[in-house]
Structure 1
């Protein structure tokens, strides 16, 4: 796998690709930085972000790390489609960096470390990450999710519509990919905030996705929904734009002392989402 093939595979734009191709770093220095990343990631990020132009440097380094990870994908027999789909997050976050800072690079470096460590994979529309369940035990009849049990954490990347068909396809791919891990899915996201029914239509793909989960925890203080809907956080709702129907509805709700938080839910395909799990207040 070469850098140019990688950039083409993740559909990275010409300007962002040029940053990678033109970046000058001696191989010896690259090897030291990679070793630093592998042995102490927190120290590595402190070191890199202390340098001028660190966003461009991180774009280059994550592209190199991803190229290096290709061999491990091959050893594990993981197909190229999954490889490129997973690392398209580099393109997504480089574009977010341009939107927020006016330059192509990487600011979400803590997030992207999971990809290059092969701790997270994109399968269709959704991303999946094996993790130890950190909540309290959830029980429903013969089914239970115990603390520290291995589950699949779900993340929803920006991009295509979150249609029921695409979501179902992702769950099917995950069942095949993560053989040996129980089909228990955990998701913590603003998409699972129950109050979204005040700003979205009933047929919304987001609400349909939300209905797959039994929500067992709600964070009313989270501002993730505001960040995702408006692409920034403001001190007053009056400062938010009204370019879309969702933004208009969300701004109106916030302006009238409403809240948009986040939720955490569990989805087990063999259970329905109504009646099988206790209410959040009783867990």
Structure 2
């Protein structure tokens, strides 16, 4: 399959809006018709797929300047073009194709975040992606997982003891829409099956480091919400307060830079968080653990 055909099928399958697809197909044609630009992109793909992401991004920034395109946009094209060799790596390692597609869908989630916040088709978090392409992070259904080392004092949860330095699973929650209890439990089941051998088929410690787990936010989320249900899976280990609400963009979109009194309150979540911050509530992040 040609790169152009793969690119078209990929963007369709991971739900790129039609406008974004047209942007990337046109940009790819511009690059293909200029030997210097084409060689630069090929070099960036090679560097990125061989774990030299920093050098790849340097190449992309130079190419972006030459093309007079935003680096957010050209960075996303790099990731799209690298999706083909990534699929080949999945085949070589005999990994299920559905895990590949669940994982690569993150490109679409980040594309829409970038457009929502900046009005640009691309990604402003390109440093997030090497884990997917180095095959150290996988999406299993609704959630994403990767190995991490437990960095806190010894804890015992439901009869399982975890010590500092022990291997754990780190969980991530992509912004991909609904987050039902059924989807969450299905993902846990998939993770148990996928990672079970690496933990000798013993109970698996799962951790999450997220704004969602900041203890003070718990009462802000509706009591019967899916997020509140997810929070209740965890035992708290650590929390950190912050002077600024760095995750406000996740709730308020492009308006997050405005003073809290001017934040939109069109959803119950926006209203609840606006009231919380306006009334002096602290922002922060939390770290939790549960046993799978």
Tell me if the contact between 1:225 and 1:262 (Cα under 8 Å) persists in the aligned partners.
no
TM-score, structure 1 length as denominator?
Answer: 0.87
Following superposition of structure 1 onto structure 2, how do residues 33-48 of structure 1 map, counting pairs within 5 Å?
Answer: 33-37=44-48, 38=50, 40-48=52-60
Partners of 1:125 and 1:43 in 2: CA distance: 31
Residue 122 of structure 1 deviates from its aligned partner by 0.9
Deviations 1:127-171 (A, max 9, x none): 111222233332358522222222111000112322211111100
1:153 paired with 2:170, answer yes
1:246 paired with 2:269, answer yes
1:227 paired with 2:249, answer yes
Tell me if the contact between 1:151 and 1:185 (Cα under 8 Å) persists in the aligned partners.
yes
Partners of 1:72 and 1:168 in 2: CA distance: 28
More helix by share: 2
Residue 231 of structure 1 deviates from its aligned partner by 2.5
Partners of 1:196 and 1:126 in 2: CA distance: 21
TM-score, structure 2 length as denominator?
Answer: 0.84
Partners of 1:237 and 1:33 in 2: CA distance: 41
Match of 2:43? Answer: 32
Tell me if the contact between 1:55 and 1:105 (Cα under 8 Å) persists in the aligned partners.
yes
Partners of 1:42 and 1:170 in 2: CA distance: 32
What secondary structure sits across from 1:127 in the alignment?
Answer: strand
1:4 paired with 2:26, answer no
Tell me if the contact between 1:224 and 1:262 (Cα under 8 Å) persists in the aligned partners.
no
Match of 1:98? Answer: 115
Tell me if the contact between 1:19 and 1:60 (Cα under 8 Å) persists in the aligned partners.
no
Partners of 2:75 and 2:239 in 1: CA distance: 34
1:218 paired with 2:239, answer yes
Q: How many residues align?
A: 269
Partners of 1:197 and 1:60 in 2: CA distance: 38
Runs of 4+ with >6 A deviation: none
2:96 maps to which of 79, 84, 97: 79
CA RMSD across the alignment: 2.1
Partners of 1:93 and 1:197 in 2: CA distance: 26
Partners of 1:101 and 1:235 in 2: CA distance: 14
Tell me if the contact between 2:43 and 2:56 (Cα under 8 Å) persists in the aligned partners.
no
Q: Which runs of 5+ in 1 are unaligned?
A: 270-283
1:14 maps to which of 12, 18, 23: 18
